[in-house]
A and B are shown apart, each in its own frame.
Chain A
Amino acid sequence: MGRLAFDLAHLLAGSLVLLSLLMLYQDRMFSLIRIFAFHAIVLSMSVAWQAFTQGAPHLYITAAIALLFKAFIIPVSLHRIVVRLEVHREIEVVGGVGITMLIGIGLIALSLAVMLPATASADPLAREDLAFALSVVLLGLLMMVTRRNAVTQIIGFMSLENGLILAAAGAKGMPLVVEISVAFSVLIAFIVIGVFLFRIRERFDSVDVGVLEFSRGERQ
């Protein structure tokens, strides 16, 4: 594999991590959705590049699925949900942006420190892909933890799933069936969550998940 191939893969995977961080930083709903769409585009580019360098045509399908669903269908429908729910104002973040970003950076360092020594003998491309993928997953989780709004939690979940796809693309030999089934399960999860969102909204007049705690009697 040439140096350019490696550099480009590195660049794409690194941008994915950067975009995850950017999502943590962003506190406006529409910009967040736009960054998420961009995240998916970069992901599909990264997967497509992997397909090209590994000579694995089935990865092109993964890339296409990611591009179609995550870069277009889901963002557009999220956008519509936000408009219908009228929650496009600024998002409430638990704790400050600064702390969240610091924790995010710490998580990246952690995933590098865990992944790089553990996979020292692996192919360098797969190795750094795994490290980046773990960072994206952790950042997605962090986003789900630190945001109060259910819509942003969905975005966090989806970006987490992007990390999984990145890992799957890096690890050669993942069968196509698994990838397609993962993609569809995510889509179904999205639909289910979307439906629930509207139900929640109907009942509690808000999509702030903090409100749900009232109904469970955890807070008075």
Chain B
Amino acid sequence: MALMLDLAAQGAQMSLVLALAPGLLGLTRKIKARLLRRRGPPIVQPYRDLAKLLRKEAVVAENASWLFRSAPYMIFVATWVAASLIPTFATGLIFSWTADLIAITALLGSARFFLALVGMDVGTSFGGIGSSREAMFATLAEPAMIMISFTVALIAGSTQLSSVAEHMLSHLELRVSLGLALFGLIIVALAENARIPVDNPATHLELTMVHEAMILEYSGRHLAVIEMAAALKLLLYVSLAACIFAPWGLAPPGAGPLFWAIGVVAYLFKLLAGGCMLAVFETSIAKMRVFRVPELLGAALMLGFLGVLLLFVSRSL
């Protein structure tokens, strides 16, 4: 019986991230629009878009290969698995020890690997430009993410996100390294999610576009699945930041459904806060020239490394 409950909690987490991801996207768009004094689409618009895309037939280029048709599912699933391994409303779920922070980073790497590949499948120059830039960003964003993981793992003494969240809850303290890690994580998250200042999620056909260029040839259900993966990725980074830097409200391991309910409410508030901050940030900053992005990501890498270095100065390590 207990096992069933554990499995149900894990299943609930998987469905929860899936259900909330488009909502977060819709929320961000809405707030952004309001900040620009537009009315903006309703928050549920991404759900409607996805439903519509799923029902449409998929138009596939004549020379597209089997990879073109299967990769969207790989991208989606890798992101989904990664997102559902991050504690959202409870720590210590039954499969939480399946993968740690480094493995989650690598799972996102798998998703990106396929995304960059399918950009090149049809053989258009737009796809190539997107893939090549994505690959360049990834070469810096991924090590930055690993260094951030190092900082967090050295503080918490674990790379396991459940243990990290528990440690952060029980040892509340001000640390430069954590600040640096948060700063770095924000930069990485902006780059990985193709947000301003790295990429503009609202435009097509701009020479600086990265993410949109790779998926230009997609339509119908394939596009829906990729869009869903993108939404999940945004949710993933917000939940990751929430889990490490604001673990309040997370249900402890072995807690009952009441704690889970509290955890879900807290999680919803965290998502709301994250969406608001993202929208405010995006409206207050301009997009960067593409070759300034490596400098930004290099700065994130340096921040992560500096975070590790400064750990050794502080007392408790």
Q: Is B205 an interface residue (CB 8 A)?
A: no
Question: Contacts A21-B306, A105-B306; is A112 near B298 (CB within 8 Å)?
Answer: no
- Whether A97 contacts B295 by the Cβ 8 Å rule is yes
- Whether B176 contacts A124 by the Cβ 8 Å rule is no
- Whether B313 contacts A132 by the Cβ 8 Å rule is yes
- Whether B179 contacts A11 by the Cβ 8 Å rule is yes
Contact of A112 among B303, B305, B309, B315 (CB under 8 A): B309
A25 to B298, CA, bound (A): 10
Stretch from A2-10, A165-173, A182-190, A211-219 contacting the other chain:
A2-10
Q: Is B34 an interface residue (CB 8 A)?
A: no
Report the minimal beta-carbon distance from B273 to chain A, rounded to whole angstroms. Answer: 22
- Whether A116 contacts B309 by the Cβ 8 Å rule is no
Report the minimal beta-carbon distance from A11 to chain B, rounded to whole angstroms. Answer: 5
List the A residue with the shortest CB-CB distance to B313: A128
Q: Is A131 an interface residue (CB 8 A)?
A: yes
Interface size band for B: 20 to 34
- Whether A11 contacts B174 by the Cβ 8 Å rule is yes
- Whether B175 contacts A18 by the Cβ 8 Å rule is no
Chain A residues lying within 8 Å of B175, measured Cβ to Cβ, are 7, 10-11
Total residue contacts A-B, CB cutoff 8 A: 62
Report the minimal beta-carbon distance from A81 to chain B, rounded to whole angstroms. Answer: 27
Question: Contacts A7-B174, A10-B175, A21-B302; is A105 near B309 (CB within 8 Å)?
Answer: yes
Q: Is A114 an interface residue (CB 8 A)?
A: no
Question: Contacts A105-B309, A116-B313, A131-B313; is A14 near B176 (CB within 8 Å)?
Answer: yes
Secondary structure of the A contact surface, majority rule: helix
Q: Is B279 an interface residue (CB 8 A)?
A: no
Q: Which residues of A from 1 to 55 have beta carbons under 8 Å from B? A: 3-4, 6-8, 10-11, 13-15, 17-18, 21, 25
Q: Is B314 an interface residue (CB 8 A)?
A: yes
Question: Contacts A10-B314, A112-B309; is A4 near B174 (CB within 8 Å)?
Answer: yes
- Whether B309 contacts A109 by the Cβ 8 Å rule is yes
Interface size band for A: 20 to 34
Contact of B295 among A15, A21, A98 (CB under 8 A): A98
Report the minimal beta-carbon distance from B91 to chain A, rounded to whole angstroms. Answer: 25
- Whether B312 contacts A116 by the Cβ 8 Å rule is yes
Could you list 14 further interchain pairs (A-B, Cβ under 8 angstroms) beyond the known A112-B312, A112-B313?
A: A3-B173, A10-B176, A11-B174, A14-B180, A15-B179, A17-B310, A21-B302, A25-B295, A101-B298, A101-B299, A101-B302, A105-B306, A108-B306, A116-B312
Closest 10 CB pairs of A and B: A14-B176, A7-B174, A128-B313, A11-B174, A101-B302, A98-B298, A11-B176, A124-B315, A97-B295, A14-B310
Residues on A lying within 8 angstroms of B by beta carbon are: 3-4, 6-8, 10-11, 13-15, 17-18, 21, 25, 97-98, 101-102, 104-105, 108-109, 112, 116, 124, 128, 131-132
12 sampled A-B residue pairs with Cβ under 8 A: A3-B173, A6-B315, A7-B175, A18-B306, A21-B302, A25-B299, A97-B298, A98-B298, A101-B298, A109-B309, A116-B312, A132-B313
